[in-house]
Structure 1
Amino acid sequence: MEHWFTFAFLLGSAVSLLVIIFTFLFRHQFYQQNPSTVGPPFRPPPGSNGWPLIGENLDYLHKLRSGNLREFVVERMKKYGSKVFTTSIIGQPTAILYGAEGNKFLFSNENKLVKVWYPGSIEKIFAKSHGKSIGDDFVKVRKMLPAFFSSTALQKFIEGTMDNVIKLELEGHWKPNGSVLVRDLAGRYTLGVACRILLGSDDPSMVEKLAEPEKDIATGIISMPIDFPGTALNRALKAAKRLTALLLGVIEKTKIDIADGKVSKTENILSKLLHAKDENGELFKEVDVAAHLAGLIHGGYDPIRSGLTFVMKYLAELPEIYEQVLREQMEVKRSKQENETLRWEDIKKMKYSWNVTQEVFRLMPPVPGTFREVIKEFTYGGYTIPKGYKIHWNAYSTQLDPEYFSEPEKFDPSRFDGKGPPPFSYVPYGGGPRMCPGIDYAKAVILVFIHNVVTRYRWELLIPDEKVVVDPHPRPIEGLPIRLHPHDES
């Protein structure tokens, strides 16, 4: 809570700005309530900028942290009687388009009416050396990812990396009849896989080195945009510097290994990045390569760790679901020779387990949502969204909506049988051109984990009613402690 007290202190020192801000707010609210004064065809959506400086951040961050982000949206949708409204969050005037139709409109107009936008906290944490937005070069980086995340590439990683990493993790840290913290150990596994695929490193100490700064980076990603000692953003920025220094060391070693012929130019994502060029035809600077790697490491670590943690939680709470997952995974295991590693063909057989995972993601999306920036003024729902405005979409709005999911609070993997949910209602990976490029990667990482854990253990929650917070990824506050029971007990 210390960042809230710091924020209050800063407010006190900014009193001289209040007259200007109140004047701006009054003028903005006046135009919203009296659109005719602006003149047709401009008709801004209804909404509020909230408090001076703060906007509606306090309510937004409170509901985000408590997992009630849908409530933030629904309250305002009902208040304004509109499926599009404006607010002020993360220091920006922001429009929210509600419902599957809003998602469809947004995803269908990527790079036409809107483009990806990152809050100031993220831009600062993953800053690049030449001052450009982190999204500017990421188009090029995204084009490299299919070579590593395609089914062909994943086949190699499943056999030689994922299956081996989780087996080592289980043997080293998941003790039969002992208690473990799922979030920590799932994090070691996901970060271990990411180290190998992104950096080409199988050094066990690298996992610990990366995990330490990642903790502070994760909590600062969606935070009040205040860089002041003691704030979440300040801690995240310091952690990002440590992470950058660590990655620059890895980059230097990789360059030497490439020169010596120990590593090929396309062996891992790092070696590929070292030979990538920007729009000017120049090689990426090493510090920019480190910035891209930091973002990729985070994307392949914290969201998947969150997903795995809640898969374990729901399987412990729902024994009938666990039994069906166990039955499916044992069939896969019996089809293999002893000590034979998993293959992509095995992953494709785990249909029920993946349905369970998708239902977990529906109820507890690992990434609550993201932002876009309006690059061309457009009209939606009879209202005008001006150029420069930010658009915020979040998975909770539709994934917990009874309009799209009957009994939305009920855990029901069968929702994903057949054609699955209505289009654009289930969006934990985003959609359109900006859909997460690592969906198959995440699927493989998660199902390899489920297979190895479920075929060895049952487990019980040691804190059945453990509180869950979102900052920015959902997590049980105590790390989900469980007690393991090997199948051969009985």
Structure 2
Amino acid sequence: MASSDSKLPLKPIPGSYGLPFFGPMSDRHDYFYNQGRDKFFAERIKKYNSTVIRTNMPPGPFISSNPRVIALLDGVSFPTLFDNSKVDKRDVLDGTFMPSTSFTGGYRACAFQDTTEPSHALLKRFYLNFLASKHETFLPLFRNNLSDHFSDLEDKLAGKPDKASFNSSVGSATFNFLFRLLSDKDPSETIIGSDGPSLVQTWLAAQLAPLATLGLPRIFNYVEDFLIRSIPFPAWTVKSSYKKLYEGLSTAGTAILDEAGRVGIKRDEACHNLVFMLSFNAQGGLVNQFPILIKWLGLAGEGLHKQLAEEIRTVVKDEGGVSLRALDQMTLTKSVVYEVLRIEPAVPFQYAKAREDLVVESHDAAYEIKKGEMIFGYQPFATKDPKIFENAEDFVAHRFLGHDGEKLLRHVLWSNGPQTEEPTPDDKQCPAKNLVVLMCRLYLVEFFLRYDTFTFDFKPVVLGPDVTIKSLAKASSF
């Protein structure tokens, strides 16, 4: 039995998996159709009076070999998933199932590997060193792509109908930035052309379809459930999309692939891993993160827009331009980004298997988890834990200002680790954690150097909001 120094009472983990097949199917329909994601967990917390529970997680039968999980639904228990001495992250990136390695050239990408696997540290150190070498490139390169993005939005708003798809526009900007960061070439110079975002979207959709819902009328729920969760989509259905991404990076990214060879990574393995990082980790995350950023910025209203514009323009004027030093002085801008990452993390799930018998604590009790059991964490409930954050469900732009605000950053967990910690080759924290924060801050800076405010609409979709820009008010003075 696992031992614990906790003074909290040791309790059995409540919850039920139900009968084989029927239990997972019932939970699956509650999760996707009857209750929805947040209510699915909230109802079970209420029913069992616990934030650590047993339940099934989709996709369940027939794709998951074992959909049973122990769910951690508070800010105290959730960080157990970051302790790699206690948990194993092998092949759990997507949850209770793993897409075929045929999607990734036969290789298990670094994100699917556990920290104990020899190639994990080698690949992650390679990523970290590459990002460090590009430190001086981030600002000018992303600013250039944002300039194209804002011009695109303005052109679309000037046409008919006078509205612009934010997701589509920012998706192109982020892909072009990421590809040029990796290869020093524009994707238009390769076989990819202007199709990068759609190629990524097609490739991702085939792998992640069992975790999605199409939002069809209720009458079609059982049809949809059968079509996308009875058998996995085979990799050959998106082979041409992946081949273009691979060939484009292989021909343009000779320098980074040469460097991979020098540190002992096979060229083919390196290229497949870089395509995965570019497409799944980076593009897949950012095309959700930026719409989430704009959604909460828009909902906050013109009052916050005015405060951000004043801070940004004052600092840029005093510093003589946009620089890392200038960005660091924009305290409200930083707080807004952290608050967005807290209130709606782009990747809401974490999975791991217990490496050993262990004891996990919530606010109120301790629970024993047996070796090999699957552990699941739902991050929005951890980062909106009302026992940690005051007005946890509200977007509070100033939340992370000052000494007390900075202390709360250890509870911002979007990067597969606390915001206060740095990624290393020996953990699973996002290697581009600091780059993502920087890009979000820089987006706000470039936006409010150009515009005073904006109007928008959004609708919820599977991953993040689908945002439409209705108007952009040009900066009145700067």
Could you say whether these structures have the same fold, taking a TM-score greater than 0.5 normalized by the shorter chain as the test?
yes
**Counterpart pick for 1:163 among 129, 136, 143:** 143
Matched-pair contact (CA < 8 Å) for 2:288–2:464? yes
Q: Deviations over 1:277-313 (max 9, x none)?
A: 3xxxxx4351563244223432222322322223223
- Counterpart-to-counterpart distance in 1, 2:430 and 2:258: 22
**Counterpart pick for 1:483 among 471, 474, 478:** 471
Q: Deviations over 1:456-484 (max 9, x none)?
A: 12454353xx3313x2x3122xx323222
The CA deviation at 1:383 is 3.9
Which residue number corresponds to residue 313 of structure 1? 295
Residue 435 of structure 2 is aligned to residue 441 of structure 1 = yes
Which residue number corresponds to residue 123 of structure 2? 141
Residue 253 of structure 2 is aligned to residue 272 of structure 1 = no
**Counterpart pick for 1:389 among 362, 373, 376:** 373
Which residue number corresponds to residue 112 of structure 1? 86
Which residue number corresponds to residue 15 of structure 1? none
Which residue number corresponds to residue 58 of structure 1? 29
- Counterpart-to-counterpart distance in 2, 1:63 and 1:322: 38
Residue 106 of structure 2 is aligned to residue 129 of structure 1 = yes
Which residue number corresponds to residue 246 of structure 1? 244
Could you tell me the percent identity over the aligned residues? 17
Which residue number corresponds to residue 313 of structure 2? 330
**Counterpart pick for 2:416 among 430, 433, 450:** 430
**Counterpart pick for 1:78 among 46, 49, 74:** 46
Matched-pair contact (CA < 8 Å) for 1:216–1:235? no
Q: TM-score with structure 2 length normalisation?
A: 0.76
Matched-pair contact (CA < 8 Å) for 2:293–2:337? yes
Seen in structure 2, the aligned counterparts of structure 1 residues 275 and 143 have a Cα distance that, compared at 3 Å, is same
Seen in structure 2, the aligned counterparts of structure 1 residues 141 and 228 have a Cα distance that, compared at 3 Å, is farther
Q: Deviations over 1:132-185 (max 9, x none)?
A: 8831534322212222334x73232212x1112212332344337553211111
Seen in structure 2, the aligned counterparts of structure 1 residues 286 and 251 have a Cα distance that, compared at 3 Å, is farther
- Counterpart-to-counterpart distance in 1, 2:388 and 2:68: 29
The CA deviation at 1:364 is 1.7
- Which has the larger Rg? 1
Gaps of 5+ in 1: 1-41, 278-282
- Counterpart-to-counterpart distance in 2, 1:131 and 1:171: 39
The CA deviation at 1:127 is 4.0
Seen in structure 2, the aligned counterparts of structure 1 residues 44 and 405 have a Cα distance that, compared at 3 Å, is closer
State the AA in 1 paired with 2:73: Y
- Counterpart-to-counterpart distance in 2, 1:74 and 1:147: 41
Matched-pair contact (CA < 8 Å) for 1:210–1:243? no
Seen in structure 2, the aligned counterparts of structure 1 residues 484 and 236 have a Cα distance that, compared at 3 Å, is farther
State the AA in 2 paired with 1:129: G
State the SS of the aligned residue for 1:247.
helix
- What is the total number of aligned residue pairs between the two structures? 418
Q: Deviations over 1:30-56 (max 9, x none)?
A: xxxxxxxxxxxx996332224643442
Which residue number corresponds to residue 231 of structure 1? 228
**Counterpart pick for 1:96 among 50, 71, 86:** 71
State the SS of the aligned residue for 1:311.
helix
Quote the RMSD (CA, aligned, Å).
3.5
The CA deviation at 1:252 is 4.2
State the AA in 1 paired with 2:446: N
